[in-house]
Amino acid sequence: MLQPKNERARVCWRITVWTALVAAMVGCGVDEYNARVNRTRERLQKYDEEDALLGEPVHLPQATLPVYLRLPREIQPTPAPQSPIHGLARFPWQTTPGKLPVLEAYVGFIPSKQIPVPDILLQRIVGDLQADSGGLEQVSDEPQVLEPRRDWESSQLLEANRSVRYRLWVRLAPKEIPRDAQGQPLPLPAGFTAVFRYEIYLHHVEASANVGEEGHVAVVFHQLDVEATRQRWEQLLANQTKPTDIPEPAVPSTPAPFQNPAQREPGVPEQLSSPQSGATATSSPVKPTPKPIPQADLLNWLPAVDKQHLERVKLATLASLRVGEAARQRLHCWGR
- Rg of the chain over Cα atoms, rounded to whole angstroms, equals 37
- In this predicted structure, the answer to whether residue 63 has a pLDDT above a threshold of 50 is yes
Element (H, E) at 238: helix 226-240
| Residue 254 three-state SS | coil
Percent share of the chain, pLDDT over 70: 69
Model confidence over 1-24: pLDDT tens digits?
444 445 555 566 556 655 655 555
pTM, two decimals, is: 0.72
So what's the pLDDT on residue 220? 97
∠ CA 167-122-203, nearest 5°, is: 35
Residue 80 in contact with residue 107, Cβ under 8 Å?
A: no
Q: Quick one: which of 148, 175, 170, 158 has its CA closest to 312? A: 148
Percent share of the chain, pLDDT over 90: 30
Question: Which residues face 23 on adjacent strands?
Answer: none
Residue 72 in contact with residue 313, Cβ under 8 Å?
A: yes
| Residue 291 three-state SS | coil
Q: Quick one: which of 123, 139, 59 has its CA closest to 85? A: 123
CA atoms of 81 and 89, how far apart (whole Å): 8
From 127-141, 152-166, 171-185, the region with the lowest mean pLDDT: 152-166
Kind of pairing between the strands at 215-224 and 103-111: antiparallel
So what's the pLDDT on residue 39? 75
So what's the pLDDT on residue 8? 59
Give mean pLDDT, residues 303-318.
91
From residue 194, alpha-carbon distances to 140, 231, 302 in Å are 21, 10, 10
Model confidence over 172-183: pLDDT tens digits?
999 999 888 778
So what's the pLDDT on residue 329? 85
